[in-house]
Structure 1
Amino acid sequence: MGHFAEFAVALNYNDIPEDVRTVLRRSFADTIGVATVGSTTEIAQITKDVADRLWRASPQSGAARLLFDGRPVSPAGAAFAGAFTVDSIDGHDGSSPCKGHAGSAVFPSLLAVADSLHAGGQSVTGSGLMTALATAYEISYRAGLALHGTTADYHTSGAWTAIGVAVGAGRLLKLDVDRIRHAAGIAEYHGPRSQMMRCIDHPTMLRDGVGWGAPSGVMAAYLAELGFTGAPAVTIEGDAVDAWWSDLGTSWRIVEDTHYKLYPVCRWAHPAIDAVQELMVAHGVRSQDVVKVRINTFHYAVRLAGHNPSTLDEMTYSIVFPVAIMIARGKIGPEELAPAILEDVEINRIAQATELVETEHYTRISVGKRWADVVLHLKDDRILQSAPRSPKGDTDNPLTDNELRGKYDTFTAGLLTSDRAEELRRQALTFDSLDSRGLTKLLDQLTNPLDCDASRFAKRRFTS
């Protein structure tokens, strides 16, 4: 009982393996890029305004500034808006075994707590933040595996990241073992066990639940600090979930499970996007040559569908439309998230000519990995079929440093000055070496408004 809390309290920076640190540095830089373009979305604007209205800062907790905005709110408010901001562009890191994402909740939450502690005169160093992040990620992943392994429904990432956030925030607040246990139990009990397939079947701004999981975790830590009780967390403590926790501290799911995305759309669409991109390049095919597309994939991906999306949420939680974008444009980046994409004649032609087929074999094997293949029918009567494939960016087929750098540059271009973008990336990749003053400067950079003019926001918004 409480082994996870003892791990969280006792973990030292030097106990964290270098390969774990490497993942978290890469995730930090990647999350900054996603948060940059995410800050231009309607989701981000709405949730920042709500945090400013309803989650004001107090002298007792210190102010936490909103990402790429700067308005001072409470740590819970900054976590709420920050998680929605990152999640509004579906390009952040994730875990295929967990069927979800930790970083979109963990990073904005712990940055918010660290910022509030600095505002209150307490120091947080880069190595201290690294230790809290490692704790929060590892607890999140294992709680996610335990939750999916013991419940029938498929819950959003907010359900299990709330627990990791609570433990990571508790670490920053220097809670003892008993209070860490209660923080985890509070977060688990009050965290959003929202239904992921509801968002897949009916995509809206609800997204992956982290917008509520993040503040639930933050508030759980502050509640436990003042003596509020909530232990035990049933996804962590007890014989039924011991298999997911018995090797905590000796094995790291962070290294084994963390993947990165090349495209800002649902991960389930990525195998088909990669497959069609390879076919187009290998055979020199132009979009005008394509008369019919067949996507063979697993059950959940088929439910993405998306022949006629009308909002950003419907487009990013689809498979047909992103594949059509890749065929027509050869890329899927921030420019492809602009509203005009929905009116593109060629993309719509290809989407309407696409057949989406569930394959029993792919459904069976798409557990820790996602699988698909694509068939193209061309005007000259050729039929091109890709090999079965899983997404680029998985741990067995990782993105290179250059690919992640290219993604970061694409996501920040025109929104941050090149000097600011480069400095943020450099600091993110070395953040654990920063002293308290250096971390404060990094937080200053992350919470200053974007460098673009206000008119750019409207160009990147979708509306219903």
Structure 2
Amino acid sequence: MTSFSEFAGSLTYDAIPEDVRKILRRSFADILGVAAVGATTEISSIARKIADRLWRSSPEIGAARMIFDGRPVSPAGAAFAGAFTIDSIDGHDGTSPCKGHAGSAVFPALLSIADSLRASGHALSGQEFMVVLTIAYEIAYRAGLTLHGTAADYHTSGAWTAVGVAAGVARLLGLTEDQTRHAAGIAEYHGPRSQMMRCIDYPTMLRDGVGWGAPSGVMAAYMAELGFTGAPAVTAEGNAAEPWWRDLGQAWRIVEDTHYKPYPVCRWAHPSIDAAHDLMRDNKLSSTDVERVRIQTFHYAVRLAGYNPKTLDEVSYSIAFPVATMIVRGRIGPQELSPEVLEDEEIRRISNATELVETEHYTKISVGKRWADVTLYLKDGREIMSEPRTPKGDADNPMNEDEFHRKYANFTDGLIAKPRADEMETMALSFDRLDGAGLSRLIDLIVAPLDR
């Protein structure tokens, strides 16, 4: 069995399957669109102010510029601000088996290191960046599976992405296998083992923990470089972890587990949103035809509830309100996260007329996938029920290239000038073909302030 530290130290670009590369190209472009909207949020604004005030750069390490901001801070500060920025809009890629997200921590963390290394004279090539992304994603996913498989609590993504980030940064810093083991152990120990259901039951700006997971992984690698010890990481080594690591380098969790989101709300609401959308479209209905709604789904999704959200955070972790929004407006994008939507009387009417029902069957089968069905009770007495649904964007029901592009264009519209947005998307979708100058150009586009 290949150890995670050996995998992190020896993986080459040629050893990465093309289907893995394709996913990471797609994730890069998709996350940039989400980050653009995220940069407009109060969460992002506060995080960037904190990074600027408390996480300044040093001559020994070099500066990293914050995403869609440009101010130079330390690599840990840029990772902190970038992760909070992306996570503030719940529209980025994810992994259902881990009940979370890797990209929202991995991308800002590794971009911060790439930017700081460039300042010291080492401009990473696209192939080098593909290698460290693959390391960080694959190790993060497996650490997440191990954590969920061995710990009773449901921890946020920050808990396990910290381990993947540490491994990716260790590779960029040229650490030895032993130092990489210590980096992962430090990141796992100090990473935020925060309780996800707390933020779902009481939605706030805390989100998915990646705002602290990303800098924890960054700092862990730098600490290990100086001799700080922390091995082993129990989510990556030992007998308890072995079932989730035995096929490392042979099978790829990145391919099996990565999903994408058409809508910027919690993934658990997506099968219900998709079902409501299709019922409305296929039966040529308007919201005024709908008397009430019944959603049958799994336990965690019922916990989302969210009939009368008052903040963006409450919308992101709700189900009744997003489903009602789809019924009334026929879409859920950044425009539906505006304050005026929270006051929409028709959306609130449908939301408050929605019944959430947990079924034992859906709870049992909603492990690697998420299941739901929706029934619309119409004012003319008809009842229209959907088939059981899993979300659009899963590997067996993928978004197509046009859907990805339309999402990106919708998320960047009005925030990034079209020529810049187009260049970013094109370069992100082929980033591993860029030389050092090309990847540097892409980073420059990403860190420049919004154009709005």
**TM-score of the superposition, structure 2-length normalised?**
0.99
User: Does the 8 Å contact 2:55/2:76 carry over to 1?
Assistant: yes
Q: Which residue of 2 aligns with 1:20?
A: 20
Distance of 1:141 and 1:293 partners within structure 2:
36
Distance of 1:241 and 1:107 partners within structure 2:
25
**Per-residue deviation at 1:116?**
0.5
**Per-residue deviation at 1:351?**
0.7
Output the amino acid matched with 1:213. Answer: G
Alignment of structure 1 residues 25-174 onto 2, 5 Å: 25-174=25-174
Q: Which residue of 1 aligns with 2:222?
A: 222
Output the amino acid matched with 1:43. Answer: I
Distance of 2:321 and 2:50 partners within structure 1:
31
User: Does the 8 Å contact 2:105/2:213 carry over to 1?
Assistant: yes
User: Does the 8 Å contact 2:298/2:358 carry over to 1?
Assistant: yes
Q: Which residue of 1 aligns with 2:442?
A: 442
1:308-360 per-residue CA deviation (whole Å, 9 max, x = no partner) reads 10100001100000000000000000110111111001101111111111111
Q: Which residue of 2 aligns with 1:457?
A: none
**Per-residue deviation at 1:144?**
0.2
Q: Secondary structure at the match of 2:240?
A: helix
User: Does the 8 Å contact 1:110/1:165 carry over to 2?
Assistant: yes
User: Does the 8 Å contact 2:2/2:248 carry over to 1?
Assistant: no
Distance of 2:39 and 2:266 partners within structure 1:
19
Q: Which residue of 2 aligns with 1:7?
A: 7
Output the amino acid matched with 2:173. Answer: L
Q: Secondary structure at the match of 2:295?
A: strand
**Per-residue deviation at 1:435?**
1.1
User: Does the 8 Å contact 2:123/2:440 carry over to 1?
Assistant: no
Q: Which residue of 2 aligns with 1:176?
A: 176
Q: Secondary structure at the match of 1:162?
A: helix
**Per-residue deviation at 1:378?**
0.7
Output the amino acid matched with 1:269. Answer: A
Distance of 1:337 and 1:308 partners within structure 2:
14
The question of 1:185 aligning with 2:192 is answered no
Alignment of structure 1 residues 405-420 onto 2, 5 Å: 405-420=405-420
Distance of 2:2 and 2:263 partners within structure 1:
39
1:392-440 per-residue CA deviation (whole Å, 9 max, x = no partner) reads 1001111111111111011000101111110000000111111111111
User: Does the 8 Å contact 2:21/2:130 carry over to 1?
Assistant: yes
Distance of 2:29 and 2:289 partners within structure 1:
38
The question of 1:292 aligning with 2:292 is answered yes
Output the amino acid matched with 1:208. Answer: D
**Per-residue deviation at 1:2?**
7.9
User: Does the 8 Å contact 2:25/2:429 carry over to 1?
Assistant: yes
Distance of 1:316 and 1:103 partners within structure 2:
18
Identical positions, percent: 70
Distance of 1:321 and 1:131 partners within structure 2:
40
Q: Secondary structure at the match of 1:99?
A: coil
Output the amino acid matched with 2:228. Answer: F
Distance of 1:176 and 1:30 partners within structure 2:
33
1:258-310 per-residue CA deviation (whole Å, 9 max, x = no partner) reads 00000000000000000000000000010011011011110000000000101
Distance of 1:172 and 1:128 partners within structure 2:
9
User: Does the 8 Å contact 1:65/1:112 carry over to 2?
Assistant: yes
User: Does the 8 Å contact 1:2/1:177 carry over to 2?
Assistant: no
**Per-residue deviation at 1:121?**
1.5
Output the amino acid matched with 2:352. Answer: Q
Distance of 1:127 and 1:425 partners within structure 2:
17
The question of 1:202 aligning with 2:187 is answered no
Q: Which residue of 2 aligns with 1:455?
A: none
Q: Secondary structure at the match of 2:241?
A: helix
Q: Which residue of 2 aligns with 1:398?
A: 398
Distance of 2:28 and 2:137 partners within structure 1:
12
Q: Which residue of 1 aligns with 2:320?
A: 320
Count of aligned residue pairs for this structure pair: 452
Distance of 1:358 and 1:233 partners within structure 2:
36
**Per-residue deviation at 1:221?**
0.6
Root-mean-square deviation (CA), in Å?
A: 0.8
Q: Secondary structure at the match of 2:408?
A: helix
Output the amino acid matched with 1:87. Answer: D
Output the amino acid matched with 1:444. Answer: D
User: Does the 8 Å contact 1:315/1:322 carry over to 2?
Assistant: yes
Distance of 1:314 and 1:234 partners within structure 2:
34
Q: Which residue of 1 aligns with 2:273?
A: 273
Output the amino acid matched with 1:337. Answer: L
Distance of 2:135 and 2:190 partners within structure 1:
20
**Per-residue deviation at 1:256?**
0.5
Q: Secondary structure at the match of 1:375?
A: strand
Segments of 5+ residues of structure 1 without an aligned counterpart are 453-464
Q: Which residue of 1 aligns with 2:260?
A: 260
**Per-residue deviation at 1:123?**
2.5
User: Does the 8 Å contact 1:290/1:376 carry over to 2?
Assistant: yes
1:59-114 per-residue CA deviation (whole Å, 9 max, x = no partner) reads 11110000000000000000000000000000000000111000000000000010
Output the amino acid matched with 2:203. Answer: P
User: Does the 8 Å contact 1:64/1:78 carry over to 2?
Assistant: yes
Distance of 2:139 and 2:223 partners within structure 1:
19
